Structures are given as structure tokens and as C-alpha cells.
Amino acid sequence: MYLSFWIAFLIIDTFSSFADGSLDGPRVTLRDKDVPVQRYSLPMSNGWTELLLGSGNRTLYVGGHGKIWAINFEKVNRLEEVNFFERVKTEPKSAATGLNMKCMENLPGTGIAPFNMTEQAPSLSIEDKQDRVYTFLVQKETDPHPEASPLTSWVSQICTADIGGPKAILQGKWTSRLNARLACGERDQGQLFDQLLDVVVLKDENWRDSRCVSDSTKLPNDVLKHMMDYPDMENWVWPIDGSGPLMVSHSHYRRIQVDSVMGSRRSHKKFNVLLLSLKSGGLHKVVELDGKSFIIAEMQLFSSGTRIQNMLLQPSTKRLYVSSGREVVEVDLRACLRYGPRCEDCVLAQDPYCSWNGTHCSAVSASREHGDVFRKQG
């Protein structure tokens, strides 16, 4: 299995030995009135919401309880319900969707997609350049040993062209499926965090060449037999350089998005920004550089106690979309004026999206010539 991307995932910290390495509190705390967001109220309460970017830079599809809404954040109060499913016959098993409609059978989806927040479902990443699908999941273990973990986290790969093997072996079954155990924790101490909460994928610049076969029915029987007998990889997937957790916090995070940000022309630094949802309805903005992390801001997006259900990042516009059961908000990650009117406030915020342009705190893309906000760090 060749993983051509970086994997960042949330885990639950069940050990106290990392307490000394916990992150300090946020440098800046912004209440809902201080956070410039565009907010849309949904017509109904939803137990779960799914988010999908539209064709425009600021368009978003929101899936709720039996409904799909299209939101255009460039137009005020532009929320439309999408008539996605249309009945094409009187039989209850026939339906059609959108353009190029095809007949299909209505199958029960329990265990395939989350109908509510309590149902576990895998996270998917479709790798279009390599024609693969990666599934991230948590698996219950049956090992009776008292020190064995009851849960393990895995990543599974299949090729999209896989149609099963020939009649003799693996007919109608995956021939390309490979499973690898995900391991996060202190390798030397044998401490692992195995409860996977959320996954985000960042593409790696250094691709490793591997190809899926075009016709899985023509694979040799000995290859198919080996795939059937040994679907699990021998080596686990450990963090880069064998390091431990990137960050440890006693906050209760549930959702994660990650953005890569280039600093100013003077710094030539590349920052990873982690966006982590809080149980309180807020958001932590965390900067990672050279293996060190710190919280630069806490933003309260919803009223206290409102559960954030989902988050989705639009990397090209640097906007984050966050949904609760009743609302969807758009957060401009480059809204730098909230840090105050002084140069010192802008610099001390240490936000890689922002820089002092000589008169006010502005987005780095508009003020690269004046250096980045990390120049006085020390």
C-alpha cells in the first residue's frame, strides 16, 4: 500500500503521562460578537448535517434530515432547497437523481452512512489521481488479553477499477483491498491512542509510483490467493519520524480540518493550521511549525453548548464552513482586523494568515512585502 498523502486525525487522550506537554491556552479569545462570520439559519433542526463544496468559490450544499439546501454566501439570504430525488415510476424501489438519471434499487443504508450522530461510519478519501478509495475506520477487537486495546484504528485501500476476480477465486469480492493499522502514541513506551474521531487528508508533494490494474479478473490465481489470505499489512502506519502526538490538549475536540499556509516572502515558512471544533460550540485555531504547536485563537461560533456537527475547508478562499443542527456559518480565516488596530497586537497574535502592512493588520497575500507576524517571536 502506498499512501501518497499526510493523515491528520483526532484521537482521545486516555493517558495522563502527556499532561506536561499539553498546550497552553489560546493567545486570543474571540466571542461570537467579535468573530466576523456570515450565518445562515436552516429551516429545520437536523440531527446531523453533511457539507459539500459547490461549483462556485462560496457556494455550499448542506445535507440535513431528508433535505438538501444550496447556500450562496456571496448573496445575502440566498438559501434554496434542492429537489434532488425525483420519482420516475410508481414502484417504491425506483428513483432518479439529477442529470443522466439511472434506475436503481432502494437498499437499507444502516452501517453505510450515518443517519444520526450515534451511528459509527467510516471516513472516506477518494484519490482521483491514483484511482483509489481509502477508508478510515475503528474496529472492535476480540483479544481477551487484559492489556489489549478494545478498539483499533485502520486505513483500508481499494482500487476503483476493482470488479472482483475470475469465477475460480474472489469473484464479486475485492481483489485490491489492503488494510494497515494506524498507530498514534509513544512507540517506545507502548502507549497508543486508538479511538479515532475524525480524519483529514493532505496531499503529499512526493508521490510514490504505484498503479492499479485495469482488469482485476485477469490477475493470476496465486496473486489473488495471497490477497485473500493476507489482506493486512505487516507494518503499522506510524507518525513521521516515529514522533508522538503532534499536540495534546485537555479540550474535547470532535472535528478537524487542516490548511497549509505560506508565510511572507521574508520568512519562506510553510505553516500547518489545525482547525479543531470544541464541545462548547467554539473553534481552536492551532499553528504547527517544525513539530511544535500552539493555540493562537479561540473563536466562539455558536451559543455555548451548541454542538458543532461538521466542518469543511475551502482552501482556495481560506474560508471554513461550520454547521450545527440549525445553522451554517462561513468563517474567513484571513479576517485579521479582529486582532486590533496596533502593530503589536497583530504581531503577538502570531496568525500566519495575517501580517502588518504599515497601517493595519491584513491578510498576508495583501501585505507580503512587510514581513510576517512571526518576525518578533522569540
Q: How far apart are CA 356 and CA 354, in angstroms?
A: 7
CA angle at 240 for the pair 132 and 261, rounded to the nearest 5°: 80
Q: Is 333 helix (H, G, I), strand (E, B) or coil?
A: coil
pLDDT score recorded for residue 128? 63
Q: Is the pLDDT score of 358 beyond 50?
A: yes
Q: What is the mean pLDDT of the chain?
A: 77
pLDDT score recorded for residue 228? 93
69 neighbors 61 (Cβ within 8 angstroms): yes
Q: How far apart are CA 188 and CA 195, in angstroms?
A: 20
pLDDT score recorded for residue 202? 77
pLDDT score recorded for residue 10? 64
| 321: confidence class by pLDDT, cuts 50, 70, 90 | very high
User: What value does the mean pLDDT take over residues 93-118?
Assistant: 46
Q: Is the pLDDT score of 191 beyond 90?
A: no
Of residues 209 and 287, the one with the higher pLDDT is 287
Give 319: exposed, middle or buried? Use CB within 10 Å, 0-12, 13-18, 19+: buried
Q: Is the pLDDT score of 218 beyond 80?
A: yes
What is the 8-class DSSP label of residue 74? T
Nearest to 307 by CA among 252, 250, 248: 252
| 323: confidence class by pLDDT, cuts 50, 70, 90 | very high
User: What value does the mean pLDDT take over residues 77-100?
Assistant: 54
Give the domain ranges of the chain: 5-333, 335-378
Contacts of 110 (CB under 8 A, 6+ apart): 119
pLDDT score recorded for residue 310? 93
| 269: confidence class by pLDDT, cuts 50, 70, 90 | confident
Of residues 73 and 85, the one with the higher pLDDT is 73
| 79: confidence class by pLDDT, cuts 50, 70, 90 | confident
| 127: confidence class by pLDDT, cuts 50, 70, 90 | low
CATH of 5-333, one of 2.130.10.10, 1.10.10.350, 3.40.50.2000, 3.40.50.2300: 2.130.10.10
pLDDT score recorded for residue 139? 84
Q: Rank 170-174, 335-339, 367-371 by mean pLDDT and report only the highest.
A: 170-174
Nearest to 326 by CA among 109, 97, 46: 46
pLDDT score recorded for residue 11? 60
| 328: confidence class by pLDDT, cuts 50, 70, 90 | very high
pLDDT score recorded for residue 271? 85
Q: How far apart are CA 248 and CA 89, in angstroms?
A: 55
User: What value does the mean pLDDT take over residues 227-233?
Assistant: 92
Confirm whether pTM is higher than 0.85.
no
Helices (H), the chain: 221-229, 343-349
pLDDT score recorded for residue 198? 86
- Percentage of the chain exceeding pLDDT 70: 72
The residues facing 256 across adjacent strands are 276
Q: How far apart are CA 114 and CA 118, in angstroms?
A: 8
Q: Is the pLDDT score of 20 beyond 70?
A: no
- Percentage of the chain exceeding pLDDT 90: 25
